[in-house]
Amino acid sequence: MDSPAIRDRTVLVTGGAGFIGSHLVDALHPHNEVRVLDTFTTGTRAYLPDGVTVIEGDIRDPIALQKAARGVDIIFHHAALVSVSQSVEAPRQSNETNLEASLLLLEQARQEDARVVVASSAAVYGHPEDLPVSETTPTKPSSPYGVQKLALDQYTRLYEDLYDVETVALRYFNVYGPRQQGPYSGVISTFLEQARADEPITIEGDGKQSRDFVHISDVVRANLRAATTDAVGEAYNIGTGQQTTIEELAETIRDATGSSSPIVHCEPRPGDIRHSGADTSKATRELGFEARVGLESGIRSLVGEGQPAVADEEDGPAQNHHWESGSYS
């Protein structure tokens, strides 16, 4: 199913110059009035197309937020401090951005009568005992970041229940794709850099840990569906439903790049989640969302800087049949 068109709306994307936000802006701006609120601490101006209204500011600043959100119809909230390790080192600072400022945004949306689509995270589940995880899996976050995302996730849905603010929370699993960069950019971009330089591909731990990697184009489609669904006041897992071990990922990236990099192991990260994988049946049932991009296709598109192969509608969701079940934040 194609994503429903969003046209002739006034839309705000917080963190819109970042990895996910900028791809969402690209999808929205040809047919809508699009505003971006970003500090450009990690975001990149060059990612933003001409014709987008840019407000350089912090979501913690009520004045900047009010200016950016005045008169909007839809808010896509992607501004966040995304580092789990930084949230551990400075939980109060992380909380100010990830939760307190997000409450300001929800209040602003309430005043504007705007729909809000919030970027939540698989981090809300912590170390799940059973896989795949569904939206009814117990939430036991293992970091301040996960706690903050869970609180925002719950506040988001509560605002629909208490105040009739149309809200949707999207619990992203491991998103990857073009423009993913920086020290917290994810294992795929790190492995690609190492493979392209023929440097050792370094796996933290034994490589048997697993993740559900979802391509940025599928995440954008999920956001567009969340912005138009009638099934508001809900949280949805956004992944592929397929799991890949980190060792398999390293081998696939090495093959795709033609690299001679050795695969080496180092000490595991303290507190690292062992396995993660999404049950996406609720998103399929209520949003009409299914991931289309298989991981091998997505990686090869990154290597070749082209577009990934996408499953035809009649073919259903993307599959990676040759990989064992199993998901690396």
pTM, whole model, 2 decimals? 0.90
Over residues 51-82, the pLDDT tens digits come to: 999 999 999 999 999 999 999 999 999 999 98
Q: What is the pLDDT of residue 182?
A: 63
For residues 291 and 241, the answer to whether their CB atoms sit within 8 Å is yes
Q: Domains in the chain, please, with CATH?
A: 10-175+214-238 (3.40.50.720), 178-211+242-277+292-315 (3.90.25.10)
Q: From the candidates 47, 125, 145, 172, give the one annotated as an active-site residue.
A: 145
| pLDDT at residue number 320 | 31
Express each pLDDT in 160-205 by its tens digit.
999 999 999 999 999 999 998 765 568 999 999 999 999 999 999 9
In a 10 Å sphere around its CB, with 0-12 CB exposed, 13-18 middle and 19+ buried, how is residue 231 labelled? middle
Structure tokens at 205: 């731990």
Q: pLDDT at residue 5 above 90?
A: no
Indicate the helix (H) or strand (E) that contains 264.
Answer: strand 263-266
Q: Quick one: pLDDT at residue 253?
A: 97
pLDDT at 319: 33
- pLDDT value at residue 213: 97
Burial class of 50 by CB neighbour count within 10 A (0 to 12, 13 to 18, 19+): exposed
Pairing relation of β-strands 210-211 and 244-245? antiparallel
Confidence at 84, pLDDT banded by 50, 70, 90: confident
145 is catalytic: yes
User: Looking at residue 114, what is its pLDDT?
Assistant: 98
